Amino acid sequence: MEQRRMTWAEIMEKYPDQNVGLVEVEWGINSSTVKTAIVKYSGDSLPKEELLLMAYKGDIVLEYTSPDTANQIGALII
């Protein structure tokens, strides 16, 4: 996987419409958006279930790279 720090826009461009496991996350001003991070895993490298487990354990931050879709991993959006 990518070993350099990338902006969220770069991550979305390189890994479109997939789950990404991020480390060394720098959060934006409102602390709910990723400003920069290192992509450790992508949906192409590991199944969603493994990424969810690593996120649950706190090993990664799990995000979805589609700007048009709300992040629905493990949450109910009403």
Q: What is the reported pTM?
A: 0.79
| Alpha-carbon span 60 to 78, nearest angstrom | 26
41, 54 contact by CB (below 8 A): yes
Tell me, what's the pLDDT at 72? 47
**Domain boundaries of the chain, sorted by first residue:** 6-64
pLDDT digits (tens, 9 = 90+) for 29-73: 877 889 999 999 988 888 889 999 999 999 999 999 986 644 444
